[in-house]
């Protein structure tokens, strides 16, 4: 079954230093109808290079499940609201989705109204 582009699903990840920030992100993405499911994960120990120096710290991954057409809006939201100077946003297209889950996700996704975006 060929899925129209506006109904294709994607999964993206970002991270936050504080649980409260991760939860606020999840709630906002849901309230603003940018995703149909957002999961705040247990903390992980991240190692990364920042401004030439290897850093590490605890971070809370946030997994965002959304309709691919919302990707640019999610990126805009992260640029405006994420506390990091350079927030992580890595996303992939869902290449295989159980048809029942795909139907559920579309039923539970409410695209943002045009008035809210004007």
Structural domains of the chain, with CATH: 5-103 (3.30.70.120)
* Predicted confidence band of residue 20 (pLDDT cuts 50, 70, 90): very high
- Compute CA distances 88 → 14, 16, 79, 97, whole Å: 5, 9, 10, 25
Interior angle at CA 47, CA 94 and CA 64, nearest 5: 25
75-109 pLDDT tens trace = 999 999 999 999 999 999 998 999 899 999 998 88
Average pLDDT taken over every residue of the chain: 92
Verdict on whether the full-model pTM lies above 0.85: yes
Share of the chain above pLDDT 70, in %: 94
36-77 pLDDT tens trace = 999 999 999 999 999 999 999 999 999 999 999 999 999 999
**CA 93/CA 40 separation, integer angstroms:** 20
């Amino acid at each position: 079954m060929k899925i129209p582009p506006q109904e294709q699903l994607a999964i993206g990840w970002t991270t936050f230093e504080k649980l409260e920030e991760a939860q606020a992100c999840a709630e906002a993405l849901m309230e603003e109808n940018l995703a149909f499911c957002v999961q705040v994960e247990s903390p992980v120990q991240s190692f990364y290079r920042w401004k030439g120096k290897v850093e590490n710290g605890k971070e809370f991954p946030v997994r965002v499940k959304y309709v691919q057409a919302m990707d640019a809006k999610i990126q805009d939201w992260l640029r405006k609201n994420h506390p990091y100077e350079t927030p992580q946003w890595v996303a992939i297209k869902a290449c295989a989705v159980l048809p029942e889950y795909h139907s559920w996700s579309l039923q539970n996704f409410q695209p943002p109204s045009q008035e809210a975006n004007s």
